Copies of this chain bind each other. A is one copy, B any other.
Amino acid sequence: MEKINFDNKYKKFSDYWSPKVIAEINDYQFKLVKIQGHFIWHSHEHSDEAFIVIEGSMEIHLENRVVTLEKGEMFVVEKGIEHRPFAKDECKIMIVEPKDIVNTGNKKSLLTSGSDVWI
């Protein structure tokens, strides 16, 4: 049970779209992710997903609109909702969701990554 410093954790990886678990409460996980460019359209059938911007700026494309998030802002994508994250420049985010959620949801992709990689 040690404290977690976001900046120190971000220094430990450089790959994009590859969530790293930093903490767990019960069966929920906190994951840091660096993102840049377009992700793929996908949804998570069984869970909502929280996006929190730690540094930079991102967009979450939804079917009918685009939500722009800056540092200090968060957004919840409800389960089953198709969404596509995007960042023009590198953006550092935190995702909170249950264990075992795959980043590309209902889509298999080259961007699919392990759901339980700790740093």
A residues in contact (CB < 8 Å) with B: 1, 3-7, 22-26, 28, 30, 47-50, 54, 67-69, 72-79, 81, 96-98
**Which residues of chain B have C-beta atoms less than 8 A from A67's C-beta?**
3
- Of the candidates A25, A30, A77, the one having the most CB atoms from chain B within 10 angstroms of its own CB is A25
**Copies of the polypeptide in the assembly:** 2
Assembled-state Cα–Cα distance A26/B68 (Å): 23
Once A3-B69, A96-B96 are accepted as A-B contacts, the answer to whether A76 and B23 lie under 8 Å apart by CB is yes
Contact of A1 (CB < 8 Å), options: B5, B7, B25, B78: B78
Closest to A5 in B: B73
Assembled-state Cα–Cα distance A7/B97 (Å): 23
